């Protein structure tokens, strides 16, 4: 895959490296402290998992339109619902995945023209 970021060098000299496997489905990110995290992608190029030392694995799910529908983290999870235009209409965060709430929900309503009219 062309045009993928391979390296970032900050003004202070700190370097972050991005390495890919031959099928472009796995990426490792090595930060300036030499901490390596692994990013996994499906064949459609969607991020499916991040494994980070000390933080565990975060998984991602998608619908048929490539909308991210779920995030599963060791500290909690989130789900997302979309309308027919692929706009987020509702989201639910459980555990400590969002702020300090045990369960946190956001619902959105739109009028006939698609304008956002209510968030609760």
Q: Domains, the chain, ranges and CATH?
A: 34-119 (2.40.128)
Helix (H, G, I), strand (E, B), or coil: what is residue 9?
A: strand
Give exposure, 28-62, as e/b (b: 16+ Cβ within 10 Å): ebeeeeeeebebbbeeeeeeeebeeeeeeebebeb
Going 60 to 50 to 24 to 2, the CA torsion angle's sign is: positive
Examine the pLDDT at 99 and tell me if it is beyond 60.
no
Give the per-residue pLDDT at 85.
92
Each residue's pLDDT tens digit, 10-25: 999 999 999 988 888 8
Residue 1 has pLDDT above 60, yes or no: no
| Per-residue confidence (pLDDT) for residue 2, from 0 to 100 | 62
Structure confidence at residue 118 (pLDDT): 77
* Residue 95: pLDDT band with limits 50, 70, 90: confident
């Amino acid at each position: 895959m062309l045009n993928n970021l391979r390296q970032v060098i900050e003004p202070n000299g700190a370097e972050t490296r991005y390495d890919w496997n031959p099928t472009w489905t796995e990426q490792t990110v090595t930060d300036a402290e030499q901490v390596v995290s692994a990013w996994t992608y499906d064949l459609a190029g969607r991020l499916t998992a991040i494994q980070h030392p000390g933080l565990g694995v975060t998984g991602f799910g998608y619908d048929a339109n490539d909308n991210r529908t779920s995030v599963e983290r060791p500290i909690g999870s989130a789900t997302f619902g979309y309308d027919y235009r692929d706009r987020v209409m509702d989201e639910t965060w459980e555990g400590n995945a969002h702020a300090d709430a045990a369960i946190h929900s956001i619902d959105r309503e739109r009028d006939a023209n698609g304008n956002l009219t209510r968030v609760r």
